């Protein structure tokens, strides 16, 4: 009853812009794929954590649209029609500039992602393509709907052996609980992946000089294109967005991991340069996020079949950016320095690899911004840095030992060459 009496759980402040009613309703009623996440902390007062991050994200998106379009009000039907026209014009202009410069932009996207994520050479192979139209997008491998296994499959794959199970019912319930926790973990990791890679939509600002060589209008055109696209995810009815996802329509990019190569190949396609960057980032984080899947291949496949879907991805795109921001807020400051950015990648992998219990316990502390969460992340970072130092030391010593063996190293000759004389 208390919930029903709340007039506006989603906070808009003084802004006239509003989400689509069904999107707001699902957030307020806790009916999104992320609503029941064990990672979300309890909030003081009436607002739920999901409502708070949705309010912030919607406000951020609206501000981006105003920044790039120059409009002061983007609410109402007239504004929507104006935004549609601006979007169509931006698409046409962008494609006219990108056409003929595909290879240059493809290489620029890869170089930018490798630099910003401090990806060592030879860590991944990249197969990228800047496509001209949606017709060139292969959506056949994209999962349109969640594939839930049967009760028997869940018990067989996630249950313990009959010898270990005290009671059949206990084993049955334990299998379902384990499956549910793994699904929730994958769902949350997917939201982090989308949130982290969403920054790729605006990383074009980091290569301003290179893009200006092609056309000085590109930067603002990209901003108009990506900001309006973000807003559409919030003002288009969720039902319509889900139908588009089910049919594979409106897909502007895709990524795929080919782990049959050494190193793995990240295959990315995008209709526009910013989308291509987004897909590349998503591929990198996807590889690191696989550490969060169950070790058992059958269990991992069942979890991914349940959670890795286009309809769920829409909610990850809506809420994931703020969730990712919350994680970055507890990162030690030095991780944002150029020579330390690589540690962020190790940290994401290490966090993903935690057991479900540890994973959600730490995630809740991080999202709440608690000191315990900051201390835990600090400890993980220190441990990673120490392990890297130990590994580098071992490799260095191993190299010295190899050199000694290869060249028949003799300590007496070495000291004699320095004028010190033979070793005593």
Per-residue pLDDT reduced to its tens digit, 5-24: 344 578 898 889 999 999 99
In this predicted structure, what is the pLDDT of residue 45? Answer: 66
Its domain, for residue 92, covers 2-329
Q: Which of 294, 329, 364 is the last residue of a domain?
A: 329
In this predicted structure, what is the pLDDT of residue 145? Answer: 80
pLDDT in tens, 203-214: 999 999 999 999
In this predicted structure, what is the pLDDT of residue 13? Answer: 84
In this predicted structure, what is the pLDDT of residue 343? Answer: 94
In this predicted structure, what is the pLDDT of residue 132? Answer: 82
pLDDT in tens, 19-69: 999 999 999 999 999 999 999 998 776 678 999 999 999 999 999 999 999
Based on the fold, state whether residues 32 and 53 are members of the same structural domain: yes
Residues of the chain with pLDDT under 50: 1-7, 164-165, 403-412, 414-424
- Determine the distance from the C-alpha atom of residue 39 to the mean position of all C-alpha atoms in its chain, rounded to a whole number: 16
Based on the fold, state whether residues 324 and 334 are members of the same structural domain: no
Based on the fold, state whether residues 389 and 299 are members of the same structural domain: no
In this predicted structure, what is the pLDDT of residue 106? Answer: 97
Q: Which two tokens stand for residue 184?
A: 């929730």
Indicate whether this model's pTM tops 0.75. yes
In this predicted structure, what is the pLDDT of residue 374? Answer: 94
Based on the fold, state whether residues 236 and 124 are members of the same structural domain: yes
In this predicted structure, what is the pLDDT of residue 242? Answer: 80
In this predicted structure, what is the pLDDT of residue 409? Answer: 38
Number of domain units in the chain: 2
Based on the fold, state whether residues 216 and 342 are members of the same structural domain: no
Based on the fold, state whether residues 100 and 135 are members of the same structural domain: yes
In this predicted structure, what is the pLDDT of residue 135? Answer: 66
In this predicted structure, what is the pLDDT of residue 140? Answer: 64
Q: Which of 329, 352, 374 is the last residue of a domain?
A: 329
Based on the fold, state whether residues 116 and 20 are members of the same structural domain: yes
In this predicted structure, what is the pLDDT of residue 249? Answer: 65
In this predicted structure, what is the pLDDT of residue 2? Answer: 40
Q: Which of 300, 329, 358 is the last residue of a domain?
A: 329
Based on the fold, state whether residues 40 and 60 are members of the same structural domain: yes
Based on the fold, state whether residues 311 and 350 are members of the same structural domain: no
In this predicted structure, what is the pLDDT of residue 360? Answer: 96
Based on the fold, state whether residues 337 and 324 are members of the same structural domain: no
């Amino acid at each position: 009853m208390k919930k029903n009496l709340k007039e506006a759980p989603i906070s808009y402040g003084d802004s006239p812009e509003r989400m689509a009613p069904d999107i707001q309703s699902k957030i307020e009623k806790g009916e999104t794929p992320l609503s029941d996440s064990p990672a979300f902390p309890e909030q003081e007062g009436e607002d739920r954590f999901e409502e708070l991050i949705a309010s912030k994200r919607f406000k951020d998106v609206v501000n981006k649209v105003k920044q790039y379009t120059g409009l002061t009000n983007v609410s109402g039907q007239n504004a929507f029609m104006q935004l549609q026209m601006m979007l169509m014009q931006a698409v046409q202009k962008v494609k006219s500039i990108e056409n003929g410069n595909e290879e240059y932009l493809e290489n620029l996207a890869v170089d930018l992602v490798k630099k910003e994520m401090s990806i060592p050479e030879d860590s991944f192979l990249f197969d990228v393509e800047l496509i001209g139209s949606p017709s060139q997008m292969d959506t056949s491998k994209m999962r349109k709907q969640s594939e839930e296994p049967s009760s028997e499959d869940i018990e067989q794959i996630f249950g313990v052996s009959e010898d270990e199970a005290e009671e059949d019912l206990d084993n049955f319930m334990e299998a379902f609980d384990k499956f549910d926790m793994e699904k929730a973990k994958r769902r949350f990791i997917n939201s982090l992946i989308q949130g982290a890679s969403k920054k790729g939509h605006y990383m074009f600002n980091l290569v301003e000089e290179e893009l200006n060589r092609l056309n000085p209008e590109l930067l603002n055109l990209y901003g108009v294109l990506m900001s309006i696209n973000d807003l559409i995810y919030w003002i288009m009815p969720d039902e319509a967005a889900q139908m588009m996802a089910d049919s594979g329509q409106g897909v502007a990019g895709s990524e795929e991991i080919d782990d049959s190569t050494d190193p793995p190949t990240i295959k990315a396609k995008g209709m526009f340069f910013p989308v291509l960057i987004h897909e590349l980032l998503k591929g990198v984080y996807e590889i690191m996020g696989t550490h969060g899947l169950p070790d058992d291949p059958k269990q991992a496949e069942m979890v991914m079949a349940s959670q890795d879907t286009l309809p769920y991805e829409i909610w990850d795109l809506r809420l994931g950016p703020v969730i990712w921001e919350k994680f970055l807020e507890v990162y030690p400051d030095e991780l944002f320095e150029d020579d330390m950015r690589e540690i962020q990648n190790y940290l994401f992998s290490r966090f993903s690899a935690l057991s479900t219990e540890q994973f959600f316990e730490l995630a809740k502390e991080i999202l709440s911004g608690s000191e315990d969460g900051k201390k835990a992340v600090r400890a993980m970072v220190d441990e990673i840095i120490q392990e890297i130092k130990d590994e580098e030391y071992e490799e260095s010593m191993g190299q010295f030992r190899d050199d000694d063996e290869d060249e028949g190293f003799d300590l007496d000759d070495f000291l004699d060459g320095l004028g010190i004389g033979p070793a005593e």
